[in-house]
Every structure is written in C-alpha cells, then in structure tokens.
Amino acid sequence: MYFYEIHEGDDEMGTQVIVAHETRYQPLDFLRLVKQARAKVLDTYEEDTLTEGIAAELERVHGFTYVSDDRLTAAVNVSEREDETFLAATGDEHRSIYLALDEE
C-alpha cells in the first residue's frame, strides 16, 4: 500500500488528508490525478474542505482509499512517561486539524 498526502492552506493553518492506493504512482502522475479531481469537484464538493472533496473523488473514480477521520478507530498519545501514554480518541469523537506554529 502506498500513501499520498493532499493539503491546502497557508503556512499557519490548513487541512491535510491522506489517501492510499495499491499502485505506486509517480509524483507527477499523482499530481495530474489530483488536478483532475480538483477541477471536477471545485464548485460542487459537499465535504467540509476542498482536500476532503478531492480525496473523496479520488476514492470514487480511481480506487484510492481516503483515510478520513471517520475511519479512525483509535488514537493513542505516547510519551516516555507511562502516565502520559493513553487512548486519546476513538471513533468519530474528534476531528484532526494540523497547525504549524512559529515558536518565536
């Protein structure tokens, strides 16, 4: 299985999705598929974000598996400390969001 990332947004906040496929696509071939999906769904996607709309289209048309939050079974927080290693989320209790923080 090969994994591909699609993200949108600026340097501070954005959305990111992962799609998987049994075929290893060359990066430019994957870009071509993403651009085709983007053009098709740009004005019509029903998902919360464009990245999710593109991922869903890739799943429908090209057989990718969209690794969405609703497929997340469990999330575990790990630490060197035992008491900081715990089950963080299960099922659809949470939604992932990614931030880039400037430590200055």
3-state secondary structure 57-95: HHHHHHCCEEECHHHCCEEEECCCCHHHCEEEEECCCCC
* Structural domain count of the chain: 1
Instruction: Give, for 2, the enclosing helix (H) or strand (E).
Output: strand 2-9
- 7 within a domain of the structure (yes/no): yes
What are the pLDDT tens digits along the chain (104 aa)?
Answer: 999 999 887 655 678 899 999 999 999 999 999 999 999 999 999 998 999 999 999 999 999 999 987 887 888 889 899 988 988 766 555 555 444 555 66
Domain that holds residue 25: 2-68
- 78 within a domain of the structure (yes/no): no
**At 10, which CATH number?**
3.30.70.2710
- 80 within a domain of the structure (yes/no): no
